[in-house]
Structure formats: structure tokens, C-alpha cells
């Protein structure tokens, strides 16, 4: 049976901190991995944010013309494997631009999916966030995570397989329909705590989801 509903945390354009260029960013809702210290713990709860698949695809089609790629994160995208396949297949119809997917699973864990859906993912960043490991590499929250080029187009993403620069830690700031600010990107370790303290000193209240299950 084909999927008709997808659970979505956010859809935003443009995102510039998760891959090259101005990209469509899609955060799928629900994560069964739940890494301690994850900055996206607000996306863990499953079966929240139900959106008709066709509505989501229509919104993505409105963004595709100006986008230089699609980045899918979460949550854990492979917790919704059929929806992920449907989203990426539609993107292939809309655009020739690259697809980048972040997963907390290892490459071998999603090998069955990638074999069934060849060519839908250009580049895949794999592995759980590990707060006990260093964070020195570009586009990654901890150094156990790996970048894989899944297609010829994805080979360009291997340019991120290097030590991180200050530019790699930049964050996009966006606002939801309620006027609440949220951040996209991969911050330096401890940056969210520093942000909370800075805002508190200025008289603002801030909560960041990395506080859930964090050890520091």
C-alpha cells in the first residue's frame, strides 16, 4: 500500500547551512535512535505533524525552481522509509539538483533501502551523534559520522570530508508561523548552551532541544 501521509517537523527554503547552495530543507518527524545531546530532540516524538503527502510534495514543488538541492534530516528519515522514497522520487521529477540525507543509522543498516531505490540519494551522511566523541569534521556533529557519495552527482559532497572551518558552523535562523525562532545547521559543540546563556543575560527565555538527554 502506498504511503499517503508523512510526519513532518519542518519544511523550509532557503537553507544554506546543510549542504552547498540555497537548499530546500525537510525535517521528518520521529526518531527511534534518540542520541543523547541531540540538538533536534524536538523531532523525536513519532506520529506528530501528520501532513498529506501530496500537500507536502506540492509545497516542495513551489520551492524547487529556486533551490540548489534538497537536504532531508530529522528526526530519523529512515523511520519513514516509504515516505522518504516518495519525497525523493518527486524531487527527481522536479529538479536535477542534488539530494543530501542525514541519518543516524550506519550505511549497512540502510543498504536494503538504497538498493531498492537506486539514485534517489546523491549523498548520505551516516552514523549516530556521539557526544562523547570529538567534533572536528565539516557537516558532522561527531567524528564517527561519515559522508558517502551514492551517485556521481553526490561525489561533489565529498568536498565536505575535511576538517571543519568556522564557516561550516554557521547557522540559519528562521521563524515558524507562531513567530518562534529556530536554527538550522550543525553548531559547534556547546554552542547551544552559550546561546541560552547569552539570551538569558539579555532577558530572553530560550530552550534548546539539545538539553534533552544531554550529559553537559
The pLDDT value given to residue 181? 82
Fold of domain 5-211 = TIM Barrel (3.20.20)
Rounded to whole angstroms, the Cα distance separating 214 from 216 reads: 6
Rounded to whole angstroms, the Cα distance separating 16 from 33 reads: 26
**Which three-class secondary structure string do you get for 127-138?**
CCCCCCCCCCEC
Angle, CA of 189, 194 and 200, to the nearest 5°? 155
Cα–Cα distance list, 125 to 54, 57, 79, 88 (Å): 27, 23, 16, 16
The pLDDT value given to residue 203? 77
pTM greater than 0.85: yes
Rounded to whole angstroms, the Cα distance separating 42 from 74 reads: 9
pLDDT tens for the 216 residues of the chain, in order: 589 999 999 999 999 999 999 999 999 999 999 999 998 999 999 999 999 999 999 999 999 999 999 999 999 999 999 999 999 999 999 999 999 999 999 999 999 999 999 999 999 999 999 999 999 999 999 999 999 999 999 999 999 999 999 999 999 999 888 888 888 999 888 766 676 676 677 777 666 555 554 433
Rounded to whole angstroms, the Cα distance separating 12 from 23 reads: 9
Cell numbers 540502510 label which residue? Answer: 110
Residue 146 sits at φ, ψ, to 5 deg, of -125, 145
Amino acid at each position: 500500500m502506498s504511503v499517503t501521509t508523512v510526519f513532518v517537523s519542518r519544511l523550509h527554503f532557503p537553507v544554506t547551512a546543510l549542504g552547498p547552495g540555497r537548499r530546500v530543507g525537510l525535517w521528518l518527524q520521529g526518531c527511534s535512535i534518540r542520541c543523547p545531546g541531540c540538538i533536534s530532540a524536538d523531532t523525536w516524538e513519532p506520529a506528530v505533524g501528520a501532513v498529506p503527502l501530496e500537500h507536502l510534495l506540492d509545497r516542495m514543488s513551489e520551492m524547487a525552481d529556486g533551490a540548489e538541492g534538497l537536504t532531508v534530516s530529522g528526526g530519523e528519515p529512515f523511520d519513514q522509509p516509504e515516505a522518504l522514497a516518495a519525497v525523493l522520487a518527486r524531487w527527481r521529477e522536479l529538479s536535477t539538483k542534488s539530494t543530501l540525507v542525514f541519518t543516524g543509522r550506519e550505511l549497512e543498516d540502510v543498504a536494503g533501502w538504497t538498493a531498492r531505490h537506486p539514485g534517489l540519494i546523491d549523498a548520505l551522511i551516516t552514523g549516530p551523534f556521539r557526544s562523547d566523541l570529538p567534533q572536528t569534521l565539516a557537516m558532522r556533529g561527531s567524528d564517527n559520522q561519515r559522508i558517502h557519495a551514492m551517485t556521481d552527482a553526490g561525489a561533489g559532497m565529498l568536498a565536505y570530508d575535511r576538517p571543519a572551518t568556522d564557516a561550516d558552523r554557521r547557522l540559519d535562523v528562521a521563524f515558524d508561523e507562531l513567530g518562534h525562532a529556530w536554527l538550522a545547521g550543525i553548531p559547534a559543540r556547546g554552542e547551544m548552551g552559550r546561546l541560552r546563556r547569552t539570551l538569558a543575560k539579555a532577558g530572553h527565555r530560550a530552550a534548546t532541544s539539545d538539553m534533552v538527554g544531554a550529559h553537559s
